[in-house]
Chains A and B, each alone.
Chain A
Amino acid sequence: MRLEINGVPTEVDPAPGQVLRTLLREQGRMDVKRGCDAGDCGACSVLLDGRPVHSCIIPAQRLDGASVTTAAGLAPEGELHPVQQALADGFGFQCGYCTPGMSVTASTLCEHDLDDLDRKLKGNLCRCTGYRPIREAIRSTLTSASTSGCGPTNAGAPRPAPPASGADRTDSAASTTPIAAGSDRSADEVTGAGARGAAEVGAGAGGAAPAGLSPSTSHGVGTSARPEAATRIVQGLEPFAFDEPVPGALFLRVLGSPHPHARILSIDTSDALAIEGVVDVLTHEHAPATRFSTARHEHRTDDPDDTRVLDDTVRFVGQRVAAVVAETVAAAEAALRAIRVEYEVLPSVLDPEAARAPGAPLLHPLRTPDDRVAEAGRNVVAALHDGHGDAAAALAASHATVSGTWRTSRVTHAQLETHGSVGWLDEAGRLVIRSSTQVPFLTRDELCHVFGLERENVRVTANRIGGGFGGKQEIFTEDLVTLAVLRTGRPVAYEFSRTEQFQRASVRHPMRISVELGADAQGRLTAMRVDLLSDTGAYGNHAIGVMFHSLAESTTIYRVPAKRLDAEAVYTNNVPSGAFRGYGLGQVILGVESAMDLLAERLGIDPFELRRINMVREGDPLHPDADKYEEDLVWGSYGLDQCLDLAESALRRGNGVEAPSGWAVGEGMAASMIATMAPRGHIARTSVSLRPDGRLLLRVGTAEFGNGTSTVLRQIAATDLLAAPERIELWSADTDAVEHDTGAFASAGITVAGKALHAACLSLAERMRTIAAGLAGADAASARLTADGVLVGERVVGFAEIVAAAPPEQLDDAGLTADGSELGDIRSLAFNVHAVRVAVDPETGTVRVLQSIQSADAGFLMNPAQVRGQVEGGTAQGIGSALYEEVLIDDGGRVQNPVFRTYRVPQSADVPDTEVYFAETDDSVGPFGAKSMSESPYNPVAPAIGNAIARALGARPYHQPFTRERVWRVAQSR
């Protein structure tokens, strides 16, 4: 049949069961993404004969004569549709995976749709942004004078000129929502903060500012520089893991266990192998015996060695039993149905409390503390019993005590790009894995460990990643791909389906958090007791790190003379839990901040005031018992006081949004603290090279998954080396690029990779000045960087000349090179305060957030618009956890809602605009005075909402998410 794709007549012969999405990708239209393959997410949206459709549920057989327009075809070549321009300029994306589909849908909207915009966006999910910049981009396009018409337009049609693109749109963005560094500072002044940061660069970075640094370039740090990939992203042309097909790649598909706990007695693969196109079937007999952890950290010994690539015992429903490698997806799927497995079903345990009780079925009885499993005989992976002072006595003697037990649920990361990797052998026989991973280096190292390979024989790279949120700090596909490539010698691709993402990746640790607080009559805390039970599911993954971290900044944020912490993380036969934005803090902060609200109620003290009375202050020891724990934490800056003031005054101001009549209204707030890096070392090795033509090659190991790091790294180079963006190339997330990088997690993009690159840039600038001064016969101190070379006296020494004169030890393939490293040995602290006013319908349990406010202490704002985006995105995920999201597991251990139709990722309608305010601080640890601000905005959101619901109803929900069912029950029980 014939159809037109972006105006190009195309002859196709689709399979009978094929959909438009895969047909388009077969035709090379990689701008058509896949988030669910089920019509729920909109990542695959295209125009079909002018109307928007989800291409994943359009039968290809009906396409004869059709005309299809993809995101890249919305505008004539070299141009953008106005709404694409607005999305690109207005930070309307983070990872950018939803963006092509979002662009397609948005391109069809008309001004009259603005009244109902949330509903129009219903079928387009964005996990990163919180929707505010998307809605704003659409509004600005449809109300701007330059748009004469609306609705879908076909490629090649004349269209109005796109609105002028500005590198910095924060000022216009601020017209609806404040983004201010202080309550009295306007947004314009924030964007002007670049000058401040640059001016204070010496103090902020702990190093000498390069001589000749001009106050700021519009692309340097402190400006809302536009992400370099923006134009490609809105068109869908920026490649993600599977957007650069590997010729001849085989398809890998996995057979999952139907049982929550079983021993595999036999696997008969003969029928499967007989199916035409099936190349190999992998079972535990082919897998290495080496146990490892899917979780990745700088030290592999941080995590429990309890997992095999394929095991002869399965411990959760959906766990890999066998993998088929085949020429076609159809053959692979047919082979899965043909595999016959005989199981011995074992007793299973799904409840974490029961799992540690005597007599419970044991999941990993043979693991020992040497494997980092604390007490395998009780299913306990990790335990913590710590504290200072006599908490029990202090509680007994307290003027007031409050206590409560909170529960949190499993949450899926819902990155719109699922996990996946493709592997092959390069010409030299080296194994290459391209993966959607936050940790390419650690993945390479662990693959070497498990398969007995040498590092130099393995390369792991990542393209742009379609969302991570911690979920991709694990090995979920690369090990199987490695096994398959090594066995077949052929390229192999394994891309998770959305349902696999629910069943076979990881979820946020569900926790039971019991908190007891004591205080004196003035509200001063006398004692704190926290008892925690964390459910890691069938494997240990991040169980240990999450459990320890969950109890750290969540409890050290307050001065407490006596504290007792007891925690255990236990195995159950559930889908494993893993790393997720906040790394456990969010769960414990729910308990602590809700208990603080109870205390405020009990004592009749304003909740902001109660925090002020008890908060740690700059210089306070975080561990008053003077143990050595966390001695790498330093007070690089302190902004919690400002955060409390900013949030409180915004809440007092209100926003004029009224509650529906008959609904109860309540206000709530919560505070949180987070260290600016992970403990025990987070390493980034980077380099910067000056090419003879003046271009700069930045080499880093860290990955871009929507965190904005790639933008900030370019800004750092632009500032330090006075370079225009066109001169800057970035090579990242590739084990070939640099020697080592721990990875893009623990909010390390700026504080680790950025700091290392800053050092490299300063070093390169120094080398350039030294060489140029030498050539000009002058003193290096008089040399200044300019856009065309180095100015020494009257003479501009050109880049080619500098590179040519470089000493050999400073030269590599690219040119004059300097390295910079960060080892992460001291860490600072960042803060967030969230406040909300909610309305609750007691008759239905519906909760509506009327006003959402977050104040953040991020230190110097490297890219104000991007930081704002991180806060908004974290808030959106916090709202999801607070009100909507829960991976449900039935009595048989099966995930009940493994699709977006039944798992509620927040839609645009669910996420109000959040007012974002920034404290004015300047950190002595972070580069340019910046602190991390990626994970932490998530942490205070759910308790703030829970506290507001409690104030509205006069009764408190304890089980997160506070779904309409649960809130309704609380309201009924009053």
Chain B
Amino acid sequence: MDITTVTSFRAARSRADLALAPGEAFMAGGTWLLSEPQPSTTGFVDLTAMGWPDIEVVDAGLRIGATCTIATLLDWARGAAAASAHPAATGRWARADALPPVPEAWRAVALVEPAANALLASFKIWSTATVGGNLCQSFAAGSMISLAVALDGVAVVWQPDGAERRMPVAELPAGNGANALARGEVLRAIEIPAHALRSEARLQKIALAELGRSGAVITGRVDEDGAATFGVTAATITPRVLRFAALPSTEELRERVEGLDGYYSDPLGAEDWRRGVSAVLAERIRSQLQESIAGRADAAAAGDAATTGVAAASPVDPSAVSARPAVPSDGADAASPAPSDDGSARA
């Protein structure tokens, strides 16, 4: 909708342009800003002119520019072949630089597709909505948050004084629709550590309608060292992360998920249901992961260490996890979040 309070629109092209005047707000894709009246906003500062690279594959992992659109992230995740399937990548959609190939060992990239599908936003909106915008909007149902939280994503934040800080994406939302950034701070990029990208990962979503706005988005992954991480988003007001040294047992996982605080009621779901289905989806993910790991273990003729069910929580410490040694992948199936019976995460 027209935002009639806005009297200026300026493109930010340099870091200096990012200084906000009173009443100004940053705009990335704009798909949320233009969807509701913004009575206290008088100017937009367009971040898409900053020219940040969309996708960078570096040694430490993946770096997603905050203004990378959902569509571009998906194009990249699907591989170059799929990206060229867009028959009309012309005009503004044309890309000068080719997207880098997806490293083969990054099986968890398969989470991108179900994470995009977990958005209420249609595929048409994916062309302009950005990953950073979804994170900064910090709605509980924002599934780019689910994706980043699932994979220990780190937010790179530009501060108004020219400095830069990093924080786990899990800590970026400060409430349903509120983020932890100070005025003038800009989310520059999201970094996903390589070890998480090499994990076996799953995402399941449920809403009060099949493709509706999420009431719960649950993620789970098992790293190469066997450590398991579950993310609870949408169901809780801000993200919750559960860490285990190994894939937990059914009972332990249920207890931990149900024991989380932060479940809430709103038109997208009642607190008791959110708690209940979070535990259900987490268990579905757990059993899928277990099966998949067992398959890989068999394939590698290895023991059943991964399925011992002995688990202990590890603290949320992204720097510690990113320091974990990389173990080469042993040639298991590519991670593809399997279609679940309730369709909550159709890949």
> Which residues of A does B touch, CB under 8 Å?
15-19, 22, 37-40, 42, 45, 47-54, 56-59, 61-62, 65-67, 105, 110, 116, 118-120, 122-124, 149-152, 328-330, 333-334, 337, 497, 660-663, 841, 843-846, 883-884, 886, 888, 896-897, 899, 901-904, 906-907, 909-910, 963-965, 968-969, 972
Contacts and interface: CB of A to CB of B under 8 A. Distances in A.
Interface of B: 1-9, 27, 30-31, 34-37, 39, 43-44, 46, 48, 86-93, 117, 120-125, 127-128, 206, 208-213, 215, 266-270, 272-273, 276-277, 280-281, 341-342, 344, 346
18 contacts: A15-B4, A17-B3, A19-B34, A22-B2, A38-B36, A39-B121, A39-B125, A40-B120, A42-B124, A49-B92, A52-B124, A59-B9, A124-B122, A843-B277, A844-B276, A904-B208, A909-B210, A964-B215
B1 A56 contact: yes
A119 B273 contact: no
Given A16-B43, A17-B6, A123-B121, A50 B88 contact: yes
A48 B92 contact: yes
Nearest to A887: B267
A637 B113 CA distance: 55
A16 B211 contact: no
Given A16-B44, A38-B35, A884-B209, A965 B270 contact: yes
Contacts of B276: 844, 968, 972
A363 B6 CA distance: 40
A18 B2 contact: yes
Q: Which 8 A-B pairs have the closest CB atoms?
A: A123-B122, A49-B91, A50-B88, A17-B6, A17-B3, A660-B341, A330-B4, A37-B1
Contacts of B35: 37-40, 56-57, 901
Contacts of A329: 2, 4
Contacts of A888: 267
A969 B123 contact: no
A904 B212 contact: yes
A965 B9 CA distance: 43
A138 B124 CA distance: 17
Given A16-B6, A48-B92, A897-B267, A53 B213 contact: no
A846 B44 contact: no
Contacts, number: 204
B211 A119 contact: yes
Contacts of B341: 660-663, 841
Nearest to A118: B211
Given A56-B1, A330-B4, A844 B91 contact: no
Nearest to B340: A660
B88 A51 contact: yes
A963 B208 contact: yes
A912 to B, nearest CB: 11
Nearest to A884: B209
Contact of B211 (A37, A149, A903, A909): A909
Contacts of A337: 39
Nearest to B139: A901
Contacts of A54: 31, 122, 124-125
B273 A53 contact: no
Mostly helix, strand, loop or mixed at chain B's interface? Answer: loop
Given A149-B87, A845-B277, 16 more contacts: A16-B7, A16-B43, A17-B3, A38-B1, A45-B124, A50-B93, A51-B86, A58-B30, A62-B46, A118-B210, A119-B123, A150-B87, A844-B276, A901-B120, A901-B213, A903-B267
A899 B8 CA distance: 27
A704 to B, nearest CB: 28
B122 A122 contact: yes
Nearest to B284: A843
A152 B88 CA distance: 7
A152 B87 contact: yes
A896 B208 contact: no
Contacts of A334: 4-5
A16 B123 contact: no
Nearest to A64: B92
B211 A907 contact: yes
B73 to A, nearest CB: 16
A58 B124 CA distance: 11
A904 B219 CA distance: 25
Which of A22, A67, A964 neighbours the largest number of chain B CB atoms within 10 Å of its CB? Answer: A964
Nearest to B206: A844
Contacts of A66: 91-92
A886 B270 CA distance: 13
A127 to B, nearest CB: 15
A119 B9 CA distance: 34
Contacts of B92: 48-49, 62, 66
A51 B272 contact: no
A844 B46 contact: no
Contacts of A845: 273, 277
Contacts of B206: 844, 846, 964
A15 B2 contact: yes
B278 to A, nearest CB: 10
A58 B128 contact: yes
Given A53-B128, A660-B342, A968-B273, A902 B123 contact: no
Contact of B9 (A61, A123, A903, A964): A61
Contact of B27 (A15, A59, A123, A150): A59
B28 to A, nearest CB: 11
B199 to A, nearest CB: 26
A965 B36 contact: no
Given A57-B34, A66-B92, A123-B121, A964 B267 contact: no
A65 B120 CA distance: 30
A903 B213 CA distance: 10
B192 to A, nearest CB: 25
A16 B2 CA distance: 9
A843 to B, nearest CB: 5
A60 to B, nearest CB: 9
B69 to A, nearest CB: 11
Contact of A105 (B7, B93, B124, B344): B124
B305 to A, nearest CB: 29
Contacts of B39: 337
Nearest to A65: B91
Contacts of B8: 16
Given A152-B88, A844-B342, A845-B273, A59 B30 contact: yes
A661 B9 CA distance: 54
Nearest to B91: A49
A781 B270 CA distance: 73
Contacts of A22: 2
B208 to A, nearest CB: 5
